[in-house]
């Protein structure tokens, strides 16, 4: 198809630079507020492309903002660049082979996510200048989506207060407008303190923090029967007190992820889990200190923005994969279960198809399937401003999230094609917003109507700050 939307050519003008950025970030996987090199790469690209840059937004060293344009509406393009622990993997192969045993890897495709978002912002900057259209495009470089809730802290600190609409995307197996469903999620730490003693000679003098943690887990297990079906509670031991069984453990620490379909539901569930922890401490004569590590809201949809993005997708069509892309995707699919592949189709309301390693079409807006809900800090932005998100095919259908297979596909030609496609979709969606004040007004009206049923309360208390990391020293 010829460049039917004027933004597409501007995307193509910058695509080589931003594909290079994506590959560089893939090669320096950094996690959870430690994305110093990745953020620096994005910051350098913003400056090279002529954006006005603000570093350390919301006081976060690995967050950055680039702005271009003047007057008019403010459209935010949200990018991410954090990786995941334990998903180191060589690129462009179809077997698990870590580059570094236990190392980080881009097993959720955020190297592509941030680069495509910045690519869309570059294209919009050029289009605004070329046409003289009033408006400002902002690229928000956001760290720590994976468990760190950076956008929630950014919303709380007001960095989206003057934004009219926000647009983002995520790498996926299918190309579609994202169904705006996610779970509100709190990550809460429970640190029990007791009294250590010799488990054989003086057990009566000990007060076991480990017992308290285990009793809490039993209590939460019984709670699970009495919570809404869509809610979720998971836990991990951060500190079990040591490895010596002949010691009454004086310290133990667990982290719980508590999820619900609504903010109010999550906060009520948080309190029930708190009371179980306090009861466990009471039973064991220990003390429990409870702290929130991070929290995010549930996602709000926006019909005018979703319809606009769908129109941009339908005009552009599917990602133009070729035979080589399909061959590699088929090799990846051979490592997956039939259930993985079928679940990807079910999630968008389609029947599974054999011999289809890649999605080269656009899923209709009305096609909805099984809700496979996780959590994301994009949701907090959706409470602050009208927000829309695309899912764009970059990897083999059925590839599980947070897997070595996604890391392996993160630098493949198919992934590059998908990220360029995503930039065109986001750019065209934003261009239509800049060109139509009435569309922005309808998006804001839809957003306001959703807020009337439940006001936004930031799920992170005011006294909690992000768990920031120290900047690494030069070698």
Instruction: Tell me the per-residue pLDDT of 260-283, one tens digit each, with 9 for 90 and over.
Output: 999 999 999 999 999 999 999 999
If pLDDT is split at 50, 70 and 90, which confidence band does 1 have?
Answer: very low
Q: What is the DSSP string of 219-231?
A: HHHHHGGGS-TT-
* Tokens matching residue 384: 């602050």
Q: What are phi and psi of 41, to 5 degrees?
A: -65, -45
The β-bridge relationship of strands 135-142 and 74-80 is: parallel
If pLDDT is split at 50, 70 and 90, which confidence band does 367 have?
Answer: very high
When pLDDT is averaged across residues 112-122 and rounded to a whole number, the result is 98
Residues forming a β-bridge with 168: 389
pLDDT at 456: 86
If pLDDT is split at 50, 70 and 90, which confidence band does 475 have?
Answer: low
Instruction: Tell me the per-residue pLDDT of 47-85, one tens digit each, with 9 for 90 and over.
Output: 999 999 999 999 999 999 999 999 999 999 999 999 999
> Which percentage of the chain shows pLDDT scores above 90?
93
Contact by Cβ (8 Å): 183, 257: no
3-state SS track over 396-445: CCCCCCCCHHHHHHCCCHHHHHHHHHHHHHHHHHHHHHHCCHHHHHHHHH
- Whole-number average pLDDT of the chain: 96
At residue 30's C-alpha, the angle toward residues 24 and 34, to 5°, is 125
pLDDT at 319: 98
Contact by Cβ (8 Å): 365, 177: yes
pLDDT at 202: 94
* Tokens matching residue 47: 């400056």
Encode 429-468: b = buried (16+ Cβ within 10 Å), e = exposed: bbbbbbeeeebbebbbebbeebeeeeeeebbbeeebebeb
pLDDT at 398: 97
Class of domain 6-182+299-452: alpha beta
Instruction: Tell me the per-residue pLDDT of 318-347, one tens digit each, with 9 for 90 and over.
Output: 999 999 999 999 999 999 999 999 999 999
If pLDDT is split at 50, 70 and 90, which confidence band does 373 have?
Answer: confident
Sorted by where each begins, the domain ranges of the chain are 6-182+299-452, 184-294
When pLDDT is averaged across residues 81-101 and rounded to a whole number, the result is 98
When pLDDT is averaged across residues 118-131 and rounded to a whole number, the result is 98
| Of the candidates 376, 369, 410, the residue with the CA atom closest to the CA atom of residue 171 | 410
Out of 3.40.50.300, 1.10.10.10, 3.20.20.70, 3.30.70.360, the CATH code matching 184-294 is 3.30.70.360
Please identify which residue in the block is written with the tokens 């079906």. Answer: 229
């Amino acid at each position: 198809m010829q460049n039917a939307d004027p933004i597409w050519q501007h995307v193509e003008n910058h695509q080589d630079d931003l594909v290079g950025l994506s590959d560089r970030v893939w090669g320096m996987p950094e996690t959870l507020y430690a994305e110093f090199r990745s953020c620096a790469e994005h910051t350098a690209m913003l400056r090279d492309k002529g954006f006005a840059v603000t570093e350390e937004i919301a006081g976060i060293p690995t967050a950055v903002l680039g702005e271009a344009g003047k007057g008019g509406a403010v459209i935010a393009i949200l990018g991410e660049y954090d990786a995941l622990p334990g998903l180191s993997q060589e690129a462009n192969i179809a077997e698990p082979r870590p580059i570094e045993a236990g190392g980080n890897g881009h097993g959720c495709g955020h190297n592509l996510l941030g680069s495509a978002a910045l690519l869309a912002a570059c294209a919009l900057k050029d289009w605004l200048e070329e046409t003289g259209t009033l408006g400002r495009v902002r690229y928000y470089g956001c760290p720590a989506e994976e468990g760190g809730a950076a956008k929630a802290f950014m919303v709380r600190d007001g960095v989206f207060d003057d934004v009219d609409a926000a647009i983002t995307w995520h790498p996926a197996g299918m190309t579609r407008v994202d169904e705006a469903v996610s779970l509100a999620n709190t990550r809460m730490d429970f640190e029990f303190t007791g009294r250590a003693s010799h488990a054989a000679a003086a057990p009566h003098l000990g007060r076991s923090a480990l017992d308290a943690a285990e009793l809490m887990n039993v209590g939460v297990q019984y709670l699970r029967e009495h919570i809404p079906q869509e809610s979720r509670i998971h836990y991990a031991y951060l500190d079990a007190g040591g490895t010596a069984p002949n010691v009454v453990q004086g310290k133990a620490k667990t982290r719980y992820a508590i999820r619900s379909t609504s903010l109010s539901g999550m906060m009520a569930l948080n309190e029930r889990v708190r009371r179980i922890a306090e009861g466990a401490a009471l039973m064991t004569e220990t003390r429990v200190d409870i702290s929130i590590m991070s929290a995010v809201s549930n996602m709000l949809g926006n019909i005018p923005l979703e319809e606009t993005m769908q129109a941009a997708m339908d005009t552009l069509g599917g990602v133009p994969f070729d035979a080589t892309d399909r061959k590699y995707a088929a090799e990846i699919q051979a490592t997956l279960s039939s259930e993985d592949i079928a679940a990807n189709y079910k999630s968008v309301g389609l029947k599974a198809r054999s011999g289809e390693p890649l999605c080269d079409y656009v899923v209709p807006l009305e096609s909805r399937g099984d809700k496979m809900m996780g959590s994301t800090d994009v949701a907090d932005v959706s409470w602050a401003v009208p927000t829309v998100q695309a899912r764009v095919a970059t990897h083999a259908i059925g590839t599980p999230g947070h897997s070595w297979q996604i890391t392996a596909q993160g630098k493949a030609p198919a992934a590059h094609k998908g990220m360029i496609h995503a930039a065109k979709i986001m750019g065209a969606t934003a261009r239509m917003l800049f060109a139509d004040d009435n569309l922005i007004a309808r998006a804001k009206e839809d957003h306001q109507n959703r807020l009337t049923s439940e006001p936004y309360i930031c799920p992170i208390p005011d006294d909690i700050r992000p768990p920031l990391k120290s900047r690494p020293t030069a070698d």
